[in-house]
């Protein structure tokens, strides 16, 4: 059997870098493509000595220039937090449009299985709870978050068009809130924001009254879900996430306790179009993919807090060394 190749667009990102690790574990040679507007070299630095891993700093619209012939193509190339997709609105829209088309053309060229990472944001501020894949959503097409929502909607439509028109072997997954090591400290999403403040003993920023809910999936579970979809014949969309729901206020309280922090809670205005409740219906994932989350929230959160504490200690050490050399 010849060498198996996988392309991970967004391979320098939080989820993408973990996916690269697992694909290498499974015996694939991996090409990671990233333009690094939100990804980080640090996320894949540990793979630098692996001859089966190739990192290309490039815009994913140019993937057709790559010489390899791929068996799997994963599209995770997009800003994924409100801070970044509001900062990079045009790039975010392109990630759903021109980048998706380029990656689909590559999959079409190579006869590869194509998996696109869509999002729970498809459902907007949902009127259905929990959210099934059949739900069409409650989304503003012109709000500040719309560049992300609509980019993902277009990516889904384009993916299905390539499947119907050209027979491309495609799969769509809708990812719910994911957390874990390598999510950027300045990412702006709630878990890094809460942990960062708690570790610094500064007020933890909580937008709104904290009674809005989310369902958090540990990154290792999410990656296994992506692989389960890739190795299936399903086209989706299929929700991937964790169906254990909790309030943001309870999350803050847990993080303050686990970090033994002296932080208080700072209540701030709630963002526009911020969903009130978010929880996936995982019936399809369990039935069609034989997949469901395995890591408990408590274990995943403790691992994540340790990682952020290590990053904080490392940065402090570097700052001391820099000051001493000055």
User: Active-site residue numbers?
Assistant: 148
DSSP string computed for 237-287: -EEES---EEEHHHHHHHHHHHTT----EEEEPPPTT--S---B--HHHHH
What is the widest separation between alpha-carbon atoms in the chain? 63
CA dihedral 4, 10, 13, 14 (to 10 degrees): -70
**Residue 229 DSSP one-character state:** H
The DSSP element (H or E) to which 172 belongs, if any, is strand 169-175
**Stretch (H or E) spanning 137:** none
CA–centroid distance for 200 within its chain? 25
Q: Residue 188 burial by CB count (10 A; 0-12/13-18/19+): exposed, middle or buried?
A: middle
Integer angstrom CA distances of residue 214 from 64, 121, 191, 217, 219: 38, 12, 11, 10, 15
């Amino acid at each position: 059997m010849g060498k198996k190749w996988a392309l991970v667009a967004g391979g320098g990102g939080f989820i993408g870098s973990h996916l690269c690790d697992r694909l290498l574990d499974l015996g694939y040679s991996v090409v990671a493509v990233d333009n690094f507007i939100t990804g980080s070299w640090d996320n894949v630095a540990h793979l630098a000595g692996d001859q089966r891993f190739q990192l290309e700093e490039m815009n994913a619209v140019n993937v057709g220039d790559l010489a390899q012939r791929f068996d799997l193509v994963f599209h995770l190339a997009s800003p994924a937090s409100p801070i970044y997709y509001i900062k990079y609105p045009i790039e975010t829209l392109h990630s759903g449009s021109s980048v998706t088309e380029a990656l689909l053309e590559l999959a079409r060229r190579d006869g590869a299985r194509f998996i696109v990472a869509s999002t729970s944001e498809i459902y907007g501020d949902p009127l259905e709870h929990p959210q099934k894949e059949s739900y069409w959503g409650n989304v503003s097409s012109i709000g500040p978050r719309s560049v992300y929502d609509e980019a993902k909607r277009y990516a889904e439509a384009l993916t299905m068009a390539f499947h119907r028109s050209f027979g491309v072997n495609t799969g769509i997954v809708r990812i719910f809130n994911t957390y874990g090591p390598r999510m950027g400290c300045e990412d702006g999403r709630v878990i890094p924001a809460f942990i960062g403040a708690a570790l610094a003993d500064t007020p933890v920023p909580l937008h709104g009254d904290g009674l809005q809910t989310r369902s958090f999936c540990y990154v290792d579970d999410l990656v296994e879900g992506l692989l389960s979809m890739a190795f299936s014949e399903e086209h989706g969309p299929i929700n991937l996430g964790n169906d254990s729901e909790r309030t943001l206020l309870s999350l803050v309280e847990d993080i303050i306790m686990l970090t033994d922090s002296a932080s208080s809670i700072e209540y701030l205005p709630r963002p526009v179009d911020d969903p009130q409740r978010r929880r996936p219906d995982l019936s399809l994932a369990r039935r069609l993919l034989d997949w469901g989350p395995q890591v408990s929230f408590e274990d995943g959160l403790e691992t994540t807090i340790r990682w952020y504490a290590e990053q904080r200690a490392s940065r402090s050490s570097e700052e001391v060394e820099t000051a001493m050399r000055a």
